[in-house]
Amino acid sequence: MLAGCNFAPHTPAVRPAAPNNAAPTETPAATGPVTTSPQPFLLRGEVILGHETRSFQPCGSPRQYWVVLPSGDAPAAGALAAPGYHPLYGEFVGTLEPAPDDGFAANYDALLRVDHINRLTTDIKGQCQQTPQPTRAFGAEPGWSLSIHNQQASLRRPNAAALTSPVASRDIEPDRHTYLGSPFTLTLLRAQCNDTMSDSLFGWQSTLVWQQQTYTGCATLANTDPAAPWLGHYQSSDTPDGHQLTLNPDHTAVITPDSGAPQASGFWHQSGQDLLSITFEPGQAAASERIYRRDGNSLIVWQETIDGSSYFLGDSGPRLIRLPR
């Protein structure tokens, strides 16, 4: 067996499936108020960890979120951060919540509750400018890496020709991913993994068997946001200057009402295959939550929650058409 990265002992907890692996959830045939569960999503950005500081700024965004890391990952993440508030580059899977009214987190735009770390590294230069990366497994001594992209697995090793194979099947579970091809089996386990060669922390351990040769190391899942297809600008289908909605990559949402009222801002999550929920920041809107249902290229205001009471509109709610990008 070839040695890879250093593994920290870890017992995976029961967690929601990673968003890029979540099974589609059918929109319920509801006739009354529904309850949604926000699905975790992936954000990339700059991380600062230090005394009284836990900040995350998404790539390309002015927003800053207070980070709540899983208890099992917080010590290793803190050890990676050098004294003096030097930034790290991070890829986190989690959900957003309104910032609390008091404490250090109150000064931030929102609270990012991290479900798990995909990658955290001291190598920050140019990371936000890189194109999205596919799922990768890798190790050291000797070095090896395997990437999975477009149903194709590619194995690379020093001083050896690259080997490729189609991915015949995959079995995706919340804490275990298995990829099979005729010459290989790749198993990823959600567990803390340290790469001492690059001062990086990863959220997955990997074992690759390729033609009876075994490799071990760390892994990262593809660092794209599975909720990205929702992004864009939407406008009321009734009037060209009516209700407008913008869904941003940092998962902020901006609503411009058609009544001349001020803009309202909040945070959006995918809540099923065709449901999207927006939680409004305190004081921004009369509603504390609004649920939209996707119908082709448009969104329907399906339900609103005002003063703790939910009002179901169904398919009779206002419709917003997605504008061309």
Q: 254-278, pLDDT tens digit by residue?
A: 988 776 677 889 999 999 889 999 9
Residue 78: φ, ψ to 5°? -65, -35
Residue whose entry in the numeric block shows the structure tokens 């061309």: 324
Q: Which among 221, 224, 170, 173 has a CA at the least distance from the CA of 12?
A: 173
- pLDDT at residue 6, as a whole number: 43
Burial letters 108-123, b for 16+ CB under 10 A, else e: bbbbbbbbbbbbbbee
> Above 80 in pLDDT, residue 31?
no
Average pLDDT, the chain: 87
Annotate 108-143 with DSSP letters as a single string. Answer: SSEEEEEEEEEEEES--TTTTTSPP--EEEEETTTT
Model pLDDT for residues 240-259, shown as the tens digit of each residue: 667 899 999 999 999 887 76
Q: Which among 35, 160, 45 has a CA at the least distance from the CA of 91?
A: 45
How far is 181 from 191, CA to CA, in rounded Å? 24
Let me know: does 320 contact 235? Beta carbons within 8 Å. yes
Residues 6 or more apart whose Cβ sits within 8 Å of residue 93: 18, 19, 40, 41, 42, 114, 115, 116, 117, 118, 203
The pLDDT > 70 percentage for the chain reads 87
How far is 277 from 293, CA to CA, in rounded Å? 9
Annotate 16-61 with DSSP letters as a single string. Answer: PPPGGGPPP-PPP--SS-----PPPEEEEEEEEEETTEEEEEETT-
How far is 61 from 90, CA to CA, in rounded Å? 14
In single-letter form, the type of residue at position 96 comes to L
Band of the pLDDT at 163, cuts 50, 70, 90?
A: very high
- pLDDT at residue 286, as a whole number: 67
Cα angle 152-158-125, degrees, rounded to a multiple of 5 = 80
- pLDDT at residue 218, as a whole number: 96
How far is 53 from 163, CA to CA, in rounded Å? 45
The pLDDT > 90 percentage for the chain reads 69
Let me know: does 168 contact 181? Beta carbons within 8 Å. yes
The pLDDT of 119-130, averaged and rounded, is 94
Model pLDDT for residues 142-158, shown as the tens digit of each residue: 899 999 999 999 999 99
Model pLDDT for residues 273-316, shown as the tens digit of each residue: 899 999 987 776 667 899 999 999 999 999 999 888 899 999 88
Model pLDDT for residues 40-86, shown as the tens digit of each residue: 999 999 999 998 899 999 999 999 999 999 999 999 999 998 788 89
* Domain edges within the chain: 135-220, 228-322
How far is 279 from 53, CA to CA, in rounded Å? 25
- pLDDT at residue 82, as a whole number: 79
Structure tokens given for 96: 């957003």
How far is 157 from 109, CA to CA, in rounded Å? 44
Q: Which CATH number fits the domain 228-322, given the four candidates 2.60.40.420, 2.40.128.490, 3.90.550.10, 3.20.20.70?
A: 2.40.128.490
CA-to-CA separations, 269 to 8, 96, 125, 234, 255, in angstroms, rounded: 32, 8, 29, 16, 15
